[in-house]
Amino acid sequence: MTKSEYMKKLSYSLRRLPKEDFNQAIDYFEEYFAEAGEENEQQAIEDLGSPEDAAKELIMNLAERIWSSRRKR
C-alpha cells in the first residue's frame, strides 16, 4: 500500500466526521507521513496500522472527548 492509497482509505473511513475534525485528522496523518519521509513510508504505514483501524481509533477518541466534555457540564 502506498501513502496515497492509505490516505484515500482513511479519508473514506472518516468521511462522516464533522469537517473540522476530519481536516484535523487528515492534517495529522499527512504530517506523520511528511515527518517519516518518503523513504520510510512503508514503516509509517506499519506503525499506523490499517487505515480502517486508525479511523476507528480516531473516532472512538473523538467520541470519548465529546462524552467527557458533556459530563463536565
What pLDDT is recorded for position 6? 98
All three cell numbers of 7, joined, read: 490516505
The residue type of 68 is S
Query: For 23-27, 60-64, 69-73, which range has the lowest pLDDT when averaged over its residues?
Result: 69-73
Question: Rounded to whole angstroms, how far apart are CA atoms 49 and 56?
Answer: 11
Q: What is the DSSP letter of 39?
A: G
**pLDDT tops 90 at residue 63:** no
The residue to which cell 492534517 is assigned: 27
User: Which residues fall within 8 angstroms of residue 7, CB to CB, at 6 or more apart?
Assistant: 26, 29, 30, 33, 51
* Axis-axis angle for helices 19-36, 51-71 (nearest 10): 130
What pLDDT is recorded for position 73? 59
